[in-house]
Structure 1
Amino acid sequence: MIRSLFLAGAAVLLLGAAPAHRPPVDPSLAGPTPTKLTGYLSTGDVDGQTVIGPPPAPDSPRGKADRTIYLENRKLDGTARWKQATKDNDLWNGGALERYACALGAPINATALPRTYHLLQRVELDARTVGTPPKEHYNRIRPLIGDDLPVCIKREDWMRTNASYPSGHAMAGWAWGLVLGELAPAKASGLLEAGREIGDSRVICGVHYQSDVEAGRMLGAAMVAREHANAQFRADFAAAQAEIAKAHGTAPACPAA
């Protein structure tokens, strides 16, 4: 009996305690379809808290500027840029991926560019792995919480518990721009512009502060640099590069300015 209890206790230590409850994730980061894929990185490969540092204090000059920008952008409700920000909210099925396809000059999907699509899926999963620890550590409240001002997507309960800093969309968006820019260097400027616009849309939407987006871009760049040290990433990158070099297809329509 004692031996059995000892072995059971050892098993608990080896397997670890049950995973802690995590707050609801932003559903627009749920991916294109259910997938068994994993990212390239593990928790701890990039220390996000060290990379980005804490968010600005609310009463600091930068914190006050964040709030001013949020309030000013509420005036964009109903404009074309507001509508585009709404589309950009869904990275996979909305307007976000269309921006990169437009800049690349070829559709980006599992049929037209399967290797590239696979690479982007795994990079986006890494954004969750790397971005979640600093989100939960700093636990910054999103700008829309506490008011009833217009935002470009439906207000939902997850917004109260899913922290604001850093922006996961900005992180994934900038990482995609960097990776795609490396895959197609002649089109890097437009691809990076798409990555910037994805982050800007989060501020226009009212679901993130400007400094959330800046931190997301910084952490996304650090993540991509770390991914290049991963053999699986390099293999997938090479396959995607060869695929894009041979790609032919009708260039998708670009989002309206």
Structure 2
Amino acid sequence: MQKMLVKSIMLYSLLCAQAFAVEIKDVTTHPNDYFLTENQAPDSLQLLSPPSFTSVEFLRDKAMYDWGKSMRHTERGRQAYIDADSSKENVTQQFSTSFGFDISAIKTPEIYKLITTMKEDAGDLATRSAKNYYNRIRPFSFFNEPTCRPEDEKTLSTNGSYPSGHTTIGFAISLVLAEINPQRQNEILKRGLEVGESRVICGYHWQSDIDAARVMAASVVAQLHANAQFNQQLAKAKMEFNRLKTNQQNKK
């Protein structure tokens, strides 16, 4: 009887350990989706804190929320709806025009691999601790109003608003793509800024969520540059871009 009890405890402990391991998403558990481990990523909880709802900064948040609502039925609002899709394919397509080349798994496999792998280093690891700790209510929930993309509201209402994961992804990717193609850095960085702006237009995030996310984007890109696997893939992406540029010039 005692042996059976010991075995049961050991089995339970093993299952708990396995379940805990699955919950920790980083390069050690999802090697194709991350470059960094959870401990290597910048800690948003140590770097950030959201403004209170009685602060002067929140008045700006409210003003930007009202501005965002006014933009929803414009061409910019339609772009914000598209930007809300965080799938790998859409994230890469978001930057194709500003980058000057179509970014896809087929046409630019090395660039595609680089930015789709770093995507969750930015949007998840670099924002996870502050999101979980503060669990800040999102604007559409705070005001009990619809967003630009109602199909995402149920999912988003269950997780924290601060800082914005979409914005961290978008701005981090823009920083890296601007390094690969510096001649178009202004167009690329502007597009990265617009991804964050789109979150305000949709009503998913406060402006202060966006501002904090840009800090985390710069922080995670700095850390990625200290990672050997990232640097290897970045080198491949730069070589691929140089080939594309040479082929384009040869066709002229």
TM-score normalised over the length of structure 1: 0.82
Shift of 1:114: 0.2
Structure having the higher helix fraction is 2
Shift of 1:17: 6.7
- RMSD over aligned Cα atoms: 2.9
Q: Aligned partners of 1:247 and 1:91: how far apart in 2? A: 26
Aligned twin of 1:129:
125
CA contact (8 A) 1:40 1:230 kept: yes
Aligned twin of 1:167:
164
Q: Aligned partners of 1:194 and 1:183: how far apart in 2? A: 15
1:120 matched to 2:115: yes
Moved over 6 A (4+): none
5 Å-filtered alignment, 1:127-206, equals: 127=122, 128-154=124-150, 156-206=153-203
- Look up the SS of the partner of 1:78 in the other structure: coil
Q: Aligned partners of 1:147 and 1:94: how far apart in 2? A: 32
State which of 61, 65, 84 in structure 2 corresponds to 1:70: 65
1:89 matched to 2:90: no
Query: Using a 3 Å threshold, how does the CA distance of structure 1 residues 91 and 160 change in structure 2: closer, same or farther?
Result: closer
Q: Aligned partners of 1:9 and 1:222: how far apart in 2? A: 41
Shift of 1:20: 9.5
- Look up the SS of the partner of 1:110 in the other structure: coil
Shift of 1:134: 1.5
Shift of 1:166: 0.6
1:158 aligned partner, one-letter code: T
- Look up the SS of the partner of 1:145 in the other structure: helix
CA contact (8 A) 1:88 1:94 kept: no
Which range is displaced more, 100-109 or 9-18? 9-18
Q: Aligned partners of 1:84 and 1:94: how far apart in 2? A: 16
CA contact (8 A) 1:84 1:95 kept: no
Q: Aligned partners of 1:4 and 1:108: how far apart in 2? A: 57
Shift of 1:92: 3.9
State which of 216, 219, 229 in structure 2 corresponds to 1:219: 216
Q: Aligned partners of 1:7 and 1:229: how far apart in 2? A: 44
Kindly indicate whether structure 1 or structure 2 has the higher relative contact order, using CA contacts under 8 Å at least 6 residues apart: 1
CA contact (8 A) 1:77 1:150 kept: no
Q: Aligned partners of 1:159 and 1:20: how far apart in 2? A: 24
Query: Using a 3 Å threshold, how does the CA distance of structure 1 residues 74 and 17 change in structure 2: closer, same or farther?
Result: same
Give ranges in structure 2 of 5+ residues lacking alignment: 24-29
Q: Aligned partners of 1:121 and 1:114: how far apart in 2? A: 10
How many aligned residue pairs are there? 237
1:100 matched to 2:95: yes
CA contact (8 A) 1:74 1:150 kept: no
Shift of 1:184: 1.1
Q: Aligned partners of 1:148 and 1:61: how far apart in 2? A: 22
Shift of 1:187: 1.4
Aligned twin of 2:26:
none
- Look up the SS of the partner of 2:19 in the other structure: coil
Q: Aligned partners of 2:236 and 2:46: how far apart in 1? A: 32
CA contact (8 A) 2:35 2:229 kept: yes
State which of 229, 235, 238 in structure 2 corresponds to 1:238: 235
Shift of 1:99: 3.9
1:203 aligned partner, one-letter code: V
TM-score normalised over the length of structure 2: 0.84
CA contact (8 A) 2:67 2:201 kept: no
1:57 matched to 2:52: yes
Q: Percent identity?
A: 33
Query: Using a 3 Å threshold, how does the CA distance of structure 1 residues 202 and 14 change in structure 2: closer, same or farther?
Result: same
Shift of 1:241: 0.4
